[in-house]
Amino acid sequence: MRSFAILSLLVGLTAPAFAQEAVAPKFLLELNAAQTSEKGCRVTFLAINELGGDLAKASVEMALFNGTGAIERIVTLDFKGLTEGKTKVLQFELANLDCADLGRVLINDITACEGEGFAGDACLAGLVPSARPDIVFGV
């Protein structure tokens, strides 16, 4: 009986730790596609706000590298408002950029992460980058 009480106490003490890990705030950002367009290269992102509330504005500064590792340019992409828990698809036209020569996209900074109750670094602290095309994407 005594070992059952000890086991119950241990399970009770560890359960909150598991619950806290499951709800860690996240800002998921996936580079989903890079397609040649009339203007240059159209990049498509999926953004999911799991930070615990709506974002009024989110902007990300990215450095674009060519296949040899040289920086082509730095751009700031405005993801606008992001509702908590909703997946949002956004496309950006990168004029005069050859998608075939895009080798790496570096998240240089989060220039805006605004919403009620958010610290300015919430998006960067919760950032989870991923990519579908064969392009290195991350911080």
Q: Which of 21-30, 89-98, 119-128 has the lowest mean pLDDT?
A: 21-30
pLDDT in tens, 31-88: 999 999 999 999 999 999 999 999 999 999 999 999 899 999 999 999 999 999 999 9
In this structure, what token pair is assigned to residue 125? 């602290």
pLDDT band, very low/low/confident/very high, at 2 (cuts 50, 70, 90)? low
Closest CA to 135 of 26, 30, 60, 37: 30
Architecture of domain 25-138: Sandwich (2.60)
The residue ranges of every structural domain in the chain are 25-138
Global pTM value: 0.78
